[in-house]
Amino acid sequence: MPPFFLYTAQVVKQLASAQGLLGYSVLARPFSKRFWTLSAWEDEAALRAFVEHPPHVRVMAALTPHMNKTKFVRWMVKGSQLPLRWDDALRRFSVALSSTIKVFLMANVARPCVRKEPGQHSFRPSNPFR
């Protein structure tokens, strides 16, 4: 488990400078070895740029052999619906699992809630979701 926390610190550092990130949160249940991430991005290109570059791409390659099958859920939200809520995200995840669709827990934002300068987040990444 300790390598997971080292990897998390590396990815959090990457998130701090990720273009197009509106916010993120991690929900961890370490004793049951269950972890979720919830993030909001301006668009698909911003998410893809983050996922496909180090350290995220390297961390996922290292963790994949130790993980069960990953599930993903995506949905669109308006900027006025930020910050995202974990109760809503987990409900969407549960519904998606029951429909046996491969899903990704992530939210794309239809419109940013505020204009921001490059590299500046519209809400604090340390606790962007309720």
More confident residue, 118 or 78: 78
Q: Which residue in this structure is represented by tokens 């400078």?
A: 17
Among residues 129, 127, 7, 128, the alpha carbon closest in space to that of 67 is found at: 7
Q: Quick one: pLDDT at residue 86?
A: 92
pLDDT in tens, 33-83: 788 899 999 999 999 999 999 999 999 999 888 887 788 888 888 888 999
Query: Domain residues of the chain, as ranges?
Result: 2-109
| Bigger pLDDT: 40 vs 104 | 40
How far the first Cα of the chain sits from its last, in Å, is: 26
Q: What's the angle, vertex CA 89, arms to CA 20 and CA 57, rounded to 5?
A: 45
Q: Is the pLDDT of residue 1 over 90?
A: no
How far is residue 92 from each of residues 8, 36, 109, measured CA to CA in Å? 24, 13, 16
CA dist., res. 67 & res. 100, Å (int): 19
Query: Given strand 106-109, what is the order of strands in its sheet?
Result: 21-29, 34-41, 106-109, 74-77
Quick one: what percent of the chain has pLDDT higher than 70? 74
pLDDT above 90 covers a percentage of the chain that reads 39
Question: Number of H helices and number of E strands within the chain?
Answer: 4, 4
- Which region among 12-16, 53-57, 81-85, 102-106 has the lowest average model confidence (pLDDT)? 102-106
Query: How does the average pLDDT of the chain come out, rounded?
Result: 78
* pLDDT value for 39: 94
The C-alpha atoms of residue 6 and residue 63 are separated, in whole angstroms, by: 12
State which CATH number among 1.10.3470, 3.40.50, 3.30.1460, 3.30.70 fits the domain covering 2-109: 3.30.70
